[in-house]
C-alpha cells in the first residue's frame, strides 16, 4: 500500500526544549561541529491510492489533526517513494 509522509516541525520562533536538550547532549557526547538541533514529528499515513484527492485529504489532516498551527509548521506532505526498510 502506498504511504504518504507528513513532516511537522516547531515554528522557528517557538522554543524547542527537546531539541535544546539534544543539542547539549551532543556536545557532552563528543559530537563536534554539530549545531542546533530541533525536533519535530514524522507521520506515515497508509492510503489505498495516492491520488490527488487522497493527498488533499492528508494535507487537511496534517493542518488540523497532525499539527498545531499555532506552534508548528507542516513542512512536507509527500508520497513515499520507496520504503528503505
Rg (CA), the chain: 16
Q: Which is nearer to its own copies, 44 or 69 (CB)?
A: 44
Largest Cα–Cα separation, the chain: 47
The residue within the footprint of its own copies, chosen from 14, 27, 57, 69 (CB under 8 A), is 57
First to last CA, the chain: 14
Residues 6+ apart with CB under 8 A from 2: 46, 47, 49, 50, 79, 80
Nearest distance from C-beta of residue 47 to its own copies, angstroms: 6
- Judged by CB under 8 A, does residue 77 bind its own copies? no
Instruction: State the residues that interact with its own copies by CB under 8 A.
Output: 1, 7-9, 11-12, 19, 22, 25-26, 29, 31-48, 54, 57-58, 60-61, 64-66, 73, 75-76, 84-85
Amino acid at each position: 500500500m502506498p504511504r504518504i509522509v507528513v513532516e511537522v516541525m516547531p515554528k522557528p520562533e517557538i522554543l524547542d526544549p527537546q531539541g535544546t536538550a539534544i543539542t547539549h547532549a551532543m556536545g557532552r557526547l563528543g559530537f563536534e561541529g554539530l549545531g542546533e538541533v530541533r525536533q519535530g514529528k514524522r507521520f506515515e499515513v497508509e492510503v489505498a491510492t495516492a491520488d490527488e484527492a487522497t493527498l488533499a485529504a492528508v494535507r487537511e489532516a496534517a493542518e488540523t489533526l497532525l499539527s498545531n498551527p499555532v506552534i508548528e509548521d507542516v513542512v512536507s506532505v509527500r508520497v513515499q517513494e520507496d520504503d528503505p526498510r
